[in-house]
Homo-oligomer: A and B are copies of this chain.
Amino acid sequence: MYFEGSEKKAEIVIDGSQLSLLHDITDDFWASLVECCNAQILSNISNDSCKAFLLSESSLFVWQDRLLILTCGVTQLVKSVEYFIQQLGTDKILQVTYQRKNEYFAHEQASCFGDDIKCLSQYVQGKALRFGELDSHHNYVFHQDNDFVASVEDKTYELLAYQISSEASKVLTTPNLSAAQIREFLAIDALLPDFIIDDYVFKPFGYSLNAIKGEQYLTIHVTPQEDSSYVSFESNLNLVKLAPQILAVLSPASFDLITFNALDLAELLQAHIPEQYVSQSLVSQQLSNGYYVGFANFIKPQRIFYDAKEIDISGDNHAL
C-alpha cells in the first residue's frame, strides 16, 4: 500500500490591523477552506496565540495575522489558498508563500507545481524557485513579490525523513498502536516539554501530531509503511539542532532540511548533522520577501548490495 506523504504547504500573512484570523474568523470558515482541497478537520487545540487544527491530511495553524497549512496525499492545496484569497480579498493579504516538495508518485497528483502557480498568479504577482536538482529531492517555492519584508526573526524549519529504518517502520506499523505508544517511540516528551498536544492515529497506519506552546509550534506527520515511509517535522523550533535526536529514532536513508531565515545554516549543519550522512544538495537563496531559504538533502551511503523489491502485479499498480 502506497501513500503520498509529501506535503504541499502554504503560508499566508495578512494585515493584522484590518482583521484577526484568530478572533474574526469562524471555525466554519476553516472547515470550508480545508474542504476545498478534499481534507477534513479532525480536532483542534488552541492557546492565546494560536489555534491548531489536525486534518485528515496533515495540519492547519492559525495565528493572529497568519496561517500555515500543510496537506499531503492527493489533496489539491492550491484550491484552499484560492478560496482564502477569494473570500478575504487580496487587499488584506500581505504575503502568500506556496511550497511543494517533489512527490514519490507525481503522476497521481491532480496538478503539478506549474499548474498551481498559474492558478495563484491570477491573484498575486509572484516569483518561483526550485531548491534542489530535478533528478533528486527538490522543493518548489512560489512567493508573492510585493513590498512585504519578513522579519529575520521569522524562522521556520522543516525536517523531512525518507525511508526510515525497518525497525522504526515495524514499530510504527504495529496493529492497534496507541497515540501514547507513538509519542513514546518518537520521544515527544523530551522533544516538546510543556506543549499542548493533539494527535491522531490513522487506520491502518499513519500518525499526525500538532503541538503548541505560546507562539511555538511543531507538527509531525508519519507515513510509516516500509518501502514508502516518510516522516515530516515542521516547526519554528530549531529542527537542525534537534536533528540528532530525530535521526537517532528514525534512522532514515535520506532526509531534507528546509529552513526559512536560518542564517547560520552552514554552521548548524556542520555542528549537528551526524557524520554518516553526506549532502547531496545544498541550496540557499535570499528571497525578495525577506526570507533566506535553505534546502539541504542528505543521504546515508550504501556499502552493501541488497535485493530488489518484488512488485505484486496481480492488481492495479497506478502508484508505480
Let me know if A283 is at the binding interface, CB within 8 A: yes
- Asked whether A320 and B109 contact (CB < 8 A) given A228-B134, A266-B305, A285-B307, the answer is no
Say whether B307 contacts A117, CB under 8 Å. no
Q: Given A107-B106, A135-B163, A313-B121, A282–B305 Cβ distance below 8 Å?
A: yes
- Shortest A150–chain B CB gap in Å is 16
Q: Give, as a whole number of angstroms, the nearest-CB distance from A221 to chain B.
A: 15
**Would you call A317 and B135 a contact (CB within 8 A)?**
no
Q: Which residues of B contact A1 (CB under 8 A)?
A: none
Cβ-defined contact, A117 with B313, below 8 A = yes
- A180: CB under 8 A from chain B? no
CB of A22 closer than 8 Å to a CB of B: no
**Size of chain A's interface in residues, with CB distance under 8 A?**
64
Closest to A253 in B: B133
For residue A207, CB closer than 8 A to chain B, the reply is: no
The answer to whether A227 touches B114, judged by C-beta atoms less than 8 angstroms apart, is no
Is B301 within 8 A of A283, CB to CB?
Answer: no
Kindly identify, within residues 144 to 187 of chain A, every residue whose CB is under 8 Å from any CB belonging to chain B. 162-163
Q: Does A248 lie at the interface of the complex (its beta carbon under 8 Å from any beta carbon of B)? A: no
A23 at the interface (CB under 8 A from B): no
Contacts of A304-319 to chain B: CB distance below 8 A: 304-311, 313, 316-319
* CA A142 to CA B312, docked complex, whole Å: 11
| Cβ contact within 8 Å between B140 and A311 | yes
Q: Residue among A134, A135, A309, A317 with the most chain B CB within 10 A? A: A135
Q: Which residues of A contact B (CB under 8 A)?
A: 104-107, 109, 112-115, 117-118, 121, 126-131, 133-137, 140-142, 162-163, 227-228, 230, 253-254, 265-266, 278-285, 293-295, 299, 301-311, 313, 316-320
A–B complex contacts, Cβ < 8 Å, 23 sampled: A105-B106, A106-B106, A112-B320, A114-B316, A114-B318, A114-B319, A117-B317, A128-B310, A128-B311, A129-B309, A129-B310, A130-B308, A133-B163, A280-B280, A280-B302, A282-B302, A282-B303, A282-B304, A283-B307, A285-B307, A285-B308, A293-B308, A294-B305
